[in-house]
Homo-oligomer: A and B are copies of this chain.
Amino acid sequence: MNLNVGLNSTGYLANAWKYRSGDRHDINDPAYYRHLAEIAHKGLFDAVFFSDHPALMTEPLGRPFHTIDPLILCTALAAQVPDIGFVVTVSSTYNSPYNFARRVQSLDIVSGGRLIVNIVSSFNPNVAANFGSAALPPRNERYARAIEFLDLAKKLWSSWDPRRESEVPSDRFWDSTSAAAVDHDGAFFQVRGPLNVPRGPQGHPVIAQAGASDGGIDLAARHGEIIYCNILSKPAGKAFGNKVRERAVSLGRDPSGIRIVPGLVVILGESRKEALRKHELYSGTGSEDGLLERFVREHGLDRDGFDPDAVLDYERFVPDQNRQQAVGMGLGLSDLLQHEKLTARQAVRRSEGHHRLLLGTAQEVADEMIDLWEDGTVDGYTLQPPRAPDDIIEFVDKVIPILQDRNVYPRQYEGRTIRDRYGFSYPA
């Protein structure tokens, strides 16, 4: 079972910071993230994950979720913490492909092959406003750009390969024919190359991807190796995985190089009841009624006729593919409701922050994690701890040993690179 863990800010849930240990200035302190990465390393996580927006959300009642640039932060962490990998989020809409290809290949080299790049197309107009006067491009254009961005990056990543060197005469420093221009001339980019960073220890960084809109699935099918997504139930997960793999096959790609590693929010208790109570607190709703009220509000339901114990109609919850906000994040719930008959009272306990929510004892949580993994619905999880460091420590202390005892999780780091550890092939 592959496990990654998200390390942004004070943890994944916006309101859980009131219940965490630590100082609020942690979020801008590199030593804090080093501490979190060391805890994750103790838990033998494959990688730590930093989501990112290049913009500061300034809601007075919120908290900054994306601060120190993840490319820089993870480079420092790679020099400080061994073995563990790094999922670094980069926008394909707001970076140039040459700088992107060079910097991430540099980090893959510096880290000894421990980089996963999470490509996002950026859906937030606040991000667009930091990169010029032009409006955010429409979703289709952003995904078309993302695909060409990675097509081109792959050309650049292999454009200088010292393995192509012939024997170099003693009066020459190198065989310059080991590098060749890429001469890319596409719809979005014109880049000559070659890259001035050679092929790295992984050939190129592993590519992660998170969108589940139609454009997102296309990108996943074409370039995604690690697919981060919202999977709230087994049937929904099977349907999602099949959709991505079928799209890959239709594009002529071998789907065996795809890993489904959805987000997962775990809240542990000595009993399920304690975990339910923590959920009410960490979510900021305070009670089950509060959870239901939030559900009504967030989905624009009619408050008067609302029956929390009536089965929900999934069609009511399908997100508009044309909405501004990320589509994929909204699909988890409608997929869940399509495959399971659930009331609102049940549904509010099945996800938090759009991700699958597991509430209970460490044993119960481990059982549920193994359930979707052992039949191949998922290849692993991206843990999104409500509170950092508290919920990472708790997970490492209580759940990891159970997974090890069940022989689904390693007892030490294996393999040299992320490709080794995830069983990915190396690019030719």
CA distance A67 to B68 in the complex (A): 25
Interchain CB contact under 8 A, A130 and B61: no
| 10 A-B pairs whose Cβ atoms sit less than 8 Å apart in the complex | A10-B173, A24-B173, A56-B160, A67-B197, A68-B109, A72-B103, A79-B79, A95-B96, A95-B99, A131-B191
Q: Report the 7 A-B pairs with minimum CB-CB distance, sorted nearest first.
A: A79-B79, A56-B196, A129-B192, A63-B173, A72-B106, A75-B75, A69-B106
Within 8 A of B (CB), among A141-193: 160, 162, 168, 171-177, 179, 185, 189-193
Chain B CB count within 10 A is highest, among A76, A110, A130, for A130
**Chain A 64-100 near chain B by CB (<8 Å), digits 1 or 0:** 1011110111011111100000000000001110110
**Chain A 5-30 near chain B by CB (<8 Å), digits 1 or 0:** 00000100000011000001100101
Taking the nearest CB of chain B, how far is it from the CB of A314, in angstroms? 35
Interchain CB contact under 8 A, A98 and B54: yes
CA distance A413 to B375 in the complex (A): 59
Stoichiometry (number of copies): 2
The answer to the question of A194 belonging to the interface, with a C-beta cut-off of 8 Å to chain B, is yes
Interchain CB contact under 8 A, A66 and B196: yes
The answer to the question of A252 belonging to the interface, with a C-beta cut-off of 8 Å to chain B, is no
Main secondary structure of the interface of A (DSSP, over half): loop
List the interface of chain A (C-beta within 8 A of B). Answer: 10, 17-18, 24-25, 28, 30, 53-56, 58-64, 66-69, 71-73, 75-80, 94-96, 98-99, 102-103, 106-107, 109-110, 126, 129-133, 160, 162, 168, 171-177, 179, 185, 189-198
Residues of B within 8 A of A58 (CB): 176, 179, 194
Interchain CB contact under 8 A, A194 and B56: yes
CA distance A99 to B194 in the complex (A): 23
Residues of B within 8 A of A130 (CB): 98, 191-193
A98's closest neighbor in chain B, by CB?
Answer: B130
CA distance A179 to B69 in the complex (A): 17
